[in-house]
Amino acid sequence: MWFAILLLVFDVGCAGWRTLARTAPPQAAKGAAPLRFREIAIYVVLFAAANYLIRFVLPLGKTVLQFPSLYDLPEYVSFFCIGAIAARRNWLPTIPASMGRVGLLAAFMSTLILFPIALTGLGHGVSAGFVGAGHWHSAVYGLWEAIYAVGLVLALVSWFRHSFARGSRLSTALARQSFAVYVIHVPIVVILTASLRGAALEDLLRFGLLAVVAVPVCFVLAFLIRRVPLVARVV
């Protein structure tokens, strides 16, 4: 639940800012300028630079206050802010399929070229280079991370909008329970895993059986929990 807590911190910060500034939540603007490649490129460069700088003090793998990946804070904060801007400027429904294809190609090429470069030298004295501390491997890794994350987001938003925009009644009902499932799934998975501990099953078969049982159980319980008065307004 650490990520839900982090999102709650962002939400409280956003609400506090609007309270202090005494501004109403902005409405989606009609006819707003569409997202452009130039803006995306600028963001990717800033994203990569922020990754490199924060990992001077928070290298990959460092845990702070039980948060396992605060070294990705630039990504979390900027994506949260961009999500709010995207809603205001109506970007998500207007990202063209061509931008999604370019994003997917960029993610693939960066993984093919930059990712191996960032990991060069593993096992030869610079194995920790890409994790941070100002090493040039960290700069390359941060650039790969920025291109990959942004490219994949563009590709997935475009793909899902064009391929899965028409939801069924079942998918709509399941979507309403999704956040509640995210909140409650951990103890359910742990309990079911413990119940299978004595079963003589291969790990892959055990995983498959657990998934088949846990997914419907989580959604049914989420549905029942959200029937409690006021709970649905929170989860």
Q: What is the full per-residue pLDDT of the chain (235 aa) written as tens digits?
A: 788 888 888 888 888 888 887 766 666 566 677 888 999 999 999 999 999 998 888 888 888 887 888 888 899 999 999 988 888 888 888 888 899 999 999 999 999 999 888 887 554 444 567 777 778 888 899 999 999 999 999 999 998 888 777 777 888 888 888 888 988 888 998 888 888 777 777 778 888 888 888 999 999 999 999 988 888 877 7
Do 48 and 94 sit in the same domain of this protein? yes
Q: Domain residues for 61?
A: 2-163
* Separation of alpha carbons 103 and 65, rounded Å: 34
Nearest partner of 70 among 2, 138, 8, judged by Cα: 2
Task: Give the count of domains, the chain.
Answer: 2
pTM reported for the whole predicted model: 0.77
Q: At 43, list the tokens.
A: 């963001």
Q: Which long-range contacts (CB under 8 A, 24 or more apart) does 10-19 make?
A: 10/76, 10/77, 10/80, 14/84
Do 122 and 178 sit in the same domain of this protein? no
Do 95 and 202 sit in the same domain of this protein? no
Do 110 and 11 sit in the same domain of this protein? yes
- Rg from Cα positions in the chain: 21
Do 146 and 198 sit in the same domain of this protein? no
Do 40 and 74 sit in the same domain of this protein? yes
Do 38 and 133 sit in the same domain of this protein? yes
189 HSE (CA, 13 A, CB side): 13
Q: Which amino acid is at 229?
A: P
Q: How many CB atoms lie within 10 A of CB 135?
A: 19
The residue to which tokens 């307004």 are assigned: 233
Q: Which long-range contacts (CB under 8 A, 24 or more apart) does 103-109 make?
A: 103/150, 103/151, 103/152, 103/153, 103/154, 103/155, 103/158, 104/151, 104/152, 104/154, 104/155, 105/151, 106/147, 106/150, 106/151, 107/147, 107/148, 107/151, 107/152, 107/155, 108/151
Which of 163, 196, 220 is at the close of a domain? Answer: 163
Residue partners of 36: CB distance under 8 A and separation at least 6: none
